[in-house]
Structure 1
Amino acid sequence: MLPEWLSGWCREHLGAPPATVLHSSVHMSEVFGLRLIDGRDVAVKARPDQNGREATCVEVQRFLAANGYPCAAPLTGVTVRDGWAVHAEEWRPGGLVLSDPGPGTARLYAGPLAAMVKLAADIEVGGDAPGAVEPPLPNPEWTRWDHEEPGPWPHIAYLSGHDHDVPVFVTEAAQRIHDRLSAVYLPRVLGHADWEAQNLRWHDDRPWAVHDWDSLAWLPEAAIAGAASGSFASAESPTLAPLASSEAFLEAYAEARGRAFDDQEIEVAWAASLWLALHNARSEALHGSRPVALTAVAQQAEERLRLAGA
């Protein structure tokens, strides 16, 4: 059943109410795939408002789509109702998920991310020029390692209060990564910070659709690439890619960007690659979930910490 507000919102902002529901999902946001009575297929997305970062996410997505990047083009701007940020975009179904965690797949995933970061570099961030956007802050909670709160973890309401249930090695690794990344002063770029298999669709080896632009971040490029190098294999459950695959991802990313990372950036990339898995391992421990990320962290943390200089 559709929420009561949705029909009126579609009339006001899209000029027609829904006729058919094509898809609906509720997780960290609400997504409704709709066929309107005039025959158009659209997606309406609603998520908790975070003081305007959603508007930046939508405008960056709009710029990318207009310049040929494989993502749905926004059809509206962002409106805020009852604390929720809402917008509509093209309905872009189809394509396959590539969930193989091997180095070959890692190289495929690196290219579209590098292309996205390179294209988004043409957007002015924080300036007064036409088309400028504000930085999409705060960054997504799973990349918020640069917080200034006590302990290794940022405050996340649904992950707070029971950290005694988290294995000590996870918390200790998180503290080391937090300390390493908090000391980094590198230029920031716009990048997709949830570069998981579940958020991309492919036609053979060509990207068809990149989803989840709510996950735009404002971070050093090495951190964007590094986080993706660890998370790209996450399909049904968040996990951590094999070490060799993360290495292949970073090599392919640098090749696609035409610039090798320096020694500090390489360490930042490896640190970011582990942080997302630590975040997910913590969540598994707190919620009693199947230990997918937790197992991968137990197997790989020490080597990734070494590569991160942490």
Structure 2
Amino acid sequence: MRTGTPSQVRPPCRSSPSCPLRVSSTDSTARGPTSAAARPAGTPPARTRVAARRPPAWPHSAGAESVTHMASNRKVVSAARSRMTRLARWGGRSTPISRVRPMDLPRIDAGLLDQWCSHHLGSRITAERFRSGRLSAVIGAVLADGREVVIKVREPAARLEGCFAVQSLLHASGYPAPEPILAPTPLGRWTASVEALVEGGDELPSSGRDPRPFASALEALVRTARPLAAGVDLEPKPSWNRWDHDEPGVWTTAEDVERPFHSVVGPDWLERTGRAARERIACRQAPKVIGHGDWFRENFRWRGEELHVAYDWDSAIVETEAVIVGIVATYVAPSVEESAAFLAAYQEVAGRRFERDELEVSWAAVLWLRGWKAKRQVVTGEPIRSLSEDEAIRLSALAGL
């Protein structure tokens, strides 16, 4: 990262008429926390090309050329888009964001589930391996025909069809997503989908928290899913990714929290931080790509330095690459220094340097997600652990605020 004085940091576009979240320049609440003494000297670099080696072939494919060929396979993309066309005919988009309410987790009777599997999968359940889940019920089962599957049950939502299309493309292209078996299908008042059970692997790569394996896994995902990015509907995004929401206040309410986030006041520095981060992200228009919005450790398993399996494709999102990289950095590289290392590793794997504007948006996405987690802690009565005021100042400077 190049060095420079704070005056070299480009100011946000809050005064631009084209900014979707434009506010008055006199509104002090729209500004992020500032401190000349605490502002770091580093500024994001201007765009330059770098000679970086392309990532190796994905371990579950025959080779890099095979992955690239399969990712552009017209039959796979056409089938996924066809599903989205049918989706539009029977209901269009999901419930408006403003109607977010606490999750009512399904309680599925074993007998009913057995009948459902017999009807839709052609085989009954002989044993349940596990039941778990946070925002949905996840059931591991052994079928009479020998297949081991995972059944995911949750509230109906139009975006689930898009998530299934993304997972189907990724699996067909050699990316380590579990094999999709059954698209979202009614199960009583719920919607259930089925995928192959994939076990094994470690919580972290053999190198621990080194950013390079995570960066390689993310770059391969973005590249492989690119054919679907323009045509798949993945709205609304999960609450923690939904910086562009239309709810009252700064923050989106979590699906599993009853109290609306906007009903809890403060702290003031956190509210200012959230407003500024949203505005900074909104001011950059760029092509959208597909990513995974929840890089929680339990959703990924590794073998050595390679990704063994990625779960929870209900968390697939469409966003700009800069925002997706910032979101992932927040999960896999929680400190400011670790996030900087991850952003550098991703650019190296991708074979290009982010423009200054793009890099600032990545930092704004880090700031938004860490701020959202901090606000959740405020709402639920926990100590704030995800973001301190000093860290907000540092991240704001990196985001060009």
1:165/1:26 Cα in 2 relative to 1: closer, same or farther (>3 Å)? Answer: farther
Shift of 1:114: 0.7
| Structure 2: distance between partners of 1:150 and 1:100 | 44
8 Å contact from structure 2 (residues 230, 288) kept in 1: no
Is residue 2:157 matched to residue 1:59?
no
2:235 aligned to which of 111, 134, 137 = 137
* Separation (CA, whole Å) in 1 of partners of 2:373 and 2:148: 34
CA shift for structure 1 position 169: 2.1
1:303 aligns with 2:394: yes
Match of 1:131 in 2: none
| CA displacement at 1:259 relative to structure 2 | 2.3
Is the Cα–Cα contact under 8 Å of residues 54 and 85 in structure 1 kept in the other structure? no
Describe the shift of the 1:101–1:300 C-alpha distance in structure 2 as closer, same or farther (beyond 3 A): farther
With the length of structure 2 as denominator, give the TM-score of the two structures: 0.68
Match of 1:286 in 2: 379
**Runs of at least 4 residues of structure 1 off by over 4 A?**
99-102
Matched, 1:110 2:215: yes
| Correspondent of 1:6 among 95, 113, 122 | 113
Q: Is the 8 A contact 1:118 1:257 kept in 2?
A: no
Cα 1:94–1:105 change in 2 (3 A) is same
What per-residue deviation string (whole Å, max 9, x for no partner) do you get for residues 47-102 of structure 1?
Answer: 2222x210111111111111111121101111134453210001011111129998
Please tell me the residue identity of whatever aligns with 1:97: E
Q: Between Structure 1 and Structure 2, how many residues are aligned?
A: 292
Partner of 1:228: 328
Match of 1:86 in 2: 192
Distance in structure 2 (CA, Å) of the matches to 1:197 and 1:229: 13
Partner Cα distance (2:294, 2:261) in 1: 25
Larger radius of gyration: 2
Matches within 5 A, 1:116-195: 116-123=221-228, 125-126=230-231, 134-156=232-254, 158=257, 159-160=259-260, 163-164=263-264, 166-195=266-295
Secondary structure of the corresponding residue to residue 292 of structure 1:
coil
Deviation, structure 1 residue 166: 4.5
1:272 matched to which residue of 2? 365
Correspondence 1:11-26 to 2 at 5 A: 11-26=118-133
| Partner SS, residue 358 of structure 2 | helix
What letter corresponds to residue 228 of structure 1 in structure 2?
V
TM-score by length of 1: 0.87
Q: Is residue 268–residue 308 contact of structure 1 (8 Å, CA) maintained in 2?
A: yes
Say whether the 8 Å CA contact 1:165–1:285 is kept in structure 2: no
Give the Cα separation in 2 of the matches to 1:43 and 1:56: 19
Paired amino acid for 2:190: W
In the TM superposition, residue 124 of structure 1 has moved relative to its aligned partner by 5.8
Cα 1:289–1:17 shift into 2, 3 Å? farther
Residue 347 of structure 2 aligns with an amino acid whose one-letter code is A
Q: What secondary structure, in the 3-state scheme, does the structure 2 residue paired with 1:75 have?
A: strand
1:208 equivalent to 2:299? Answer no
Which structure has more relative contact order (CA 8 Å, sep 6+)? It is 2
Q: Distance in 1 between matches of 2:286 and 2:229?
A: 17
Partner AA of 2:348 in structure 1? E
Q: Secondary structure at the match of 1:137?
A: coil
Classify 1:260/1:85 alpha carbon distance in 2 versus 1 (closer, same or farther; 3 Å).
Answer: farther
Partner amino acid for 1:6? L
Distance 1:94 1:267 in 2: 37
Change (3 A) 1:142 1:62: same
CA distance in structure 2 between the aligned counterparts of 1:142 and 1:154, rounded to whole angstroms: 7
Coordinate RMSD, CA, aligned = 2.3
Partners of 2:354 and 2:189 lie apart in 1 by 40
State the SS of the aligned residue for 1:208.
strand
Aligned letter for 1:76? L
CA contact (8 A) 1:191 1:219 kept: yes
Check the 8 A contact 1:77/1:87 in 2, yes or no. yes
What code does the residue aligned with 1:86 have?
A
1:190 is displaced (CA, Å) by 1.0
- Unpaired runs of 5+ residues, structure 2, are 1-106
Q: Give the aligned partner of residue 69 of structure 1.
A: 175
Aligned residue for 2:343? Answer: 250
Counterpart residue number, 2:47: none
CA–CA distance in 1 between the matches of 2:270 and 2:250? 10
| Counterparts in 2 of 1:301 and 1:266: CA distance versus 1, 3 Å | same
Distance 1:161 1:307, change over 3 A: closer
Q: Is the 8 A contact 1:99 1:197 kept in 2?
A: no
Distance change in 2, residues 1:45/1:259 (3 Å): same
Question: 2:270 is matched by which residue type in structure 1?
Answer: V
Q: Distance between the aligned counterparts of 1:156 and 1:2, measured in 2?
A: 23
**Inter-CA distance 24–218: structure 2 relative to 1 (3 Å threshold):** same
Quick check: 200-209 or 164-173, which moved more?
Answer: 164-173
Superposed displacement of residue 199, structure 1: 1.4
